[in-house]
Structure 1
């Protein structure tokens, strides 16, 4: 931020009409993106929900679940930026259709695995495509919706993912009653991915980089239209110079709440004595609460942000982390006898977790200029993958050694509470970073306007 940058109070978005709050037909386009992301998440969901059945069929240890979940995230560190780079050379629509949809043939192939090694190899190849959807879809969402509506849009996006998970999770869980039913789970998810990819290919219209920024309206179709930056050192240096961005990345590295998504069903089976089919029933209310959290959280975050433009989203994010840690302690450290109690507690966890993507994605979008958002989400989600991989591996090995209850105390409750405290410095940096981006966009808008004598020619 330079000496001429506006003060933090300037982060409030300028008045906008309904026409310039995003790309035309943006909600319909968001529906296609939601379908793609939901089916991609179905692959991880199949592993988490059906792992007890897979463990019996292939004689797997608990650490195998950690390995599969970690593998799905680690490949994102390498291949997430690769898909972003490809999207600089080829139309984003086609890159997204391949990575997020047509790559589903490998998810289908995973269902044919006959050994742990084959399972790891095929699942890893399938994950190579899935990891491309995160940075691409989040970047496109920022081009479809302006800052006033991004929280709501992110809520709809991740809420749709939760809705599909709420329906798909219990259905996949019931496949554990069938001999080899876990294989059909991968077949079904892969087929849904293919359908989503075809939908993107046939019906999606790319709004273009910076499509929702009102300051860039004059240059969107000209030679000065912004283009996405390649994933290179210059982009990384610019991202590192945005003070809020490293703090947001650190929070994603420590996002231990994903452990409950991966190990929640296994915890209820191993530590609380429920059957796989019974334990999978908590997936529906948990996912439904996540859906409510994303939708309500997106609306609430947008309203709080308009009321407190320098700190509103940060306050919502910190509250979600601290609340999650408190409920996670109650859900994992007290042995309840009724599955219904766990359904309620897991639902609260889903609600609090649902608040987070409706906030942290718009935060990253607001602090980065349009051409850097694809690279920003590649870094953001890649570091999230590293953190998730390390934490889940530790949970798997510690769970084998001391049990999941003790492991959850240190690797979920303590880590999430510490993560909530790490949001505190963002109160100082976020407002200034958003003001700097708006100042840069205003400068570009001014530079793109024709001079008076040019209008008379």
Structure 2
């Protein structure tokens, strides 16, 4: 066998467009996490909001994104085009970033967070459908894992920059927020130049009304089982804002609070690609169950720890569970949905999980105000065990190998 005949590693066979989408996500995450790593503390310590208000803001923001994803995903199926909607979504997120440093009250921050999440909602389902369109069926898990890994590199680079800039500027929030504007606009530039959308396969049906009940029925029972399991799983995990607040409750200095997201995202980025690669070779449901078990342990550690070492372990385990689950759930959606309805499938998936995240974040905030952090994380552990039980019950119905596009 010659050098050119040797099979390439999976990462070298992943299409260039998926790499580009990964870098788009990475740059936008650098921008977003520079802001979001500081935002909960800024709202509580500077603007004087309550923990429950933080939970409501985070839940409403993510639920807004989930609702918009339904319509943007369906629209991408109707148009037969994904990239234009991704550009609009990333562009909207970029132009709202300057509002954060200029906001003078909690109302402005809520508005900026709300509009930013609308941008996320517009781009989310079409982008995930575009990954599925670009990825070969045998590399679907690898492709989603790679994009997720690059995304989370941005998620820990952003907080690291926030830590450095907070130190450099003597805790001047607005300066950090202004610098965060730059990578957001670079993200849009990479998307415009480097991502080429494939033409729809001629055998696919033209979808006239993607959200019609007949089309939703075509998604099939396996897809809806994936959505049900994902919704239960989302109830078990709430906004990462509560990891930041947990660090603050233990006594982590203000300047170092973003380190929580650095540790979480670093563990996430290290695990997402290997888990995606492995999911193309072993049963995906087994890996998903492993991720839930890791979340259960993370919740227990975060509930009972009283020191920074325990906090670091709990946060790292939280990131590891994300790497074991988020790319897999997206891959399962792509596996079970018809190719011509992928946008709608990702949209409905994100709507249901977004509603669950809203409920989880509000519940977490209320429990925190009533019982403190321990009650919040113990409740998360309880929901995790319920989800794991349901997942194992449906294992044989969900764990079939990925189906090729037809």
TM-score (structure 2 length as normaliser): 0.88
8 Å Cα contact 2:82-2:197 kept in structure 1: yes
Match of 1:307 in 2: none
Match of 1:155 in 2: 145
Deviation string, structure 1 residues 15-35 (Cα, Å, up to 9, x no partner): xx989x99x985321122123
8 Å Cα contact 2:15-2:135 kept in structure 1: no
Name stretches of at least 5 consecutive residues in structure 1 with no aligned partner: 1-16, 210-219, 305-311, 442-457
Closer/same/farther in 2, CA of residues 236 and 225 from structure 1, 3 Å limit: closer
Match of 2:99 in 1: 109
Size of the alignment, in residue pairs? 395
Match of 2:192 in 1: 201
2: CA distance between counterparts of 1:228 and 1:295?
33
Question: What's the CA shift for 1:357?
Answer: 2.1
Name stretches of at least 5 consecutive residues in structure 2 with no aligned partner: 1-5
Tell whether 2:253 aligns with 1:253.
Answer: no
8 Å Cα contact 2:284-2:399 kept in structure 1: no
Q: Equivalent of 1:427, from 383, 395, 398?
A: 395
Match of 2:362 in 1: 393
Q: Equivalent of 1:74, from 31, 44, 63?
A: 63
Question: What's the CA shift for 1:184?
Answer: 3.7
Question: What's the CA shift for 1:403?
Answer: 1.0
2: CA distance between counterparts of 1:183 and 1:228?
46
Tell whether 2:25 aligns with 1:56.
Answer: no
Closer/same/farther in 2, CA of residues 327 and 126 from structure 1, 3 Å limit: closer
8 Å Cα contact 2:268-2:323 kept in structure 1: yes
Q: How does 1:171-210 map to 2 (within 5 A)?
A: 171-176=161-166, 178=169, 181-209=172-200
1: CA distance between counterparts of 2:281 and 2:34?
32
Match of 2:3 in 1: none
Of residues 321-330 and 172-181 in structure 1, the stretch that sits farther from structure 2 once superposed is 172-181
Match of 1:308 in 2: none
Match of 1:14 in 2: none
2: CA distance between counterparts of 1:179 and 1:200?
35
8 Å Cα contact 2:223-2:336 kept in structure 1: yes
Question: What's the CA shift for 1:346?
Answer: 1.7
Tell whether 2:274 aligns with 1:296.
Answer: yes
2: CA distance between counterparts of 1:185 and 1:382?
32
1: CA distance between counterparts of 2:324 and 2:199?
28
1: CA distance between counterparts of 2:65 and 2:207?
19
Question: What's the CA shift for 1:372?
Answer: 1.2
Question: What's the CA shift for 1:388?
Answer: 0.8
8 Å Cα contact 2:22-2:148 kept in structure 1: yes
Closer/same/farther in 2, CA of residues 230 and 136 from structure 1, 3 Å limit: farther
Tell whether 2:259 aligns with 1:281.
Answer: yes
Q: 3-state DSSP class of the match of 2:227?
A: helix
Match of 1:356 in 2: 325
1: CA distance between counterparts of 2:199 and 2:74?
16
2: CA distance between counterparts of 1:192 and 1:173?
17
1: CA distance between counterparts of 2:190 and 2:207?
24
1: CA distance between counterparts of 2:303 and 2:358?
21
Match of 2:334 in 1: 365
1: CA distance between counterparts of 2:164 and 2:39?
9
2: CA distance between counterparts of 1:326 and 1:52?
26
Closer/same/farther in 2, CA of residues 110 and 132 from structure 1, 3 Å limit: same
2: CA distance between counterparts of 1:386 and 1:186?
28
Which has more radius of gyration? 1
8 Å Cα contact 2:51-2:368 kept in structure 1: yes
TM-score (structure 1 length as normaliser): 0.78
2: CA distance between counterparts of 1:327 and 1:171?
26
Question: What's the CA shift for 1:348?
Answer: 2.3
CA RMSD of aligned residues (A): 2.8
Question: What's the CA shift for 1:399?
Answer: 1.1
Match of 1:382 in 2: 351
8 Å Cα contact 1:98-1:129 kept in structure 2: yes
Question: What's the CA shift for 1:400?
Answer: 1.7
Q: Equivalent of 2:21, from 3, 19, 33?
A: 33
Closer/same/farther in 2, CA of residues 150 and 318 from structure 1, 3 Å limit: same
2: CA distance between counterparts of 1:54 and 1:29?
38
8 Å Cα contact 1:80-1:135 kept in structure 2: yes
8 Å Cα contact 2:74-2:347 kept in structure 1: no
Tell whether 2:309 aligns with 1:340.
Answer: yes
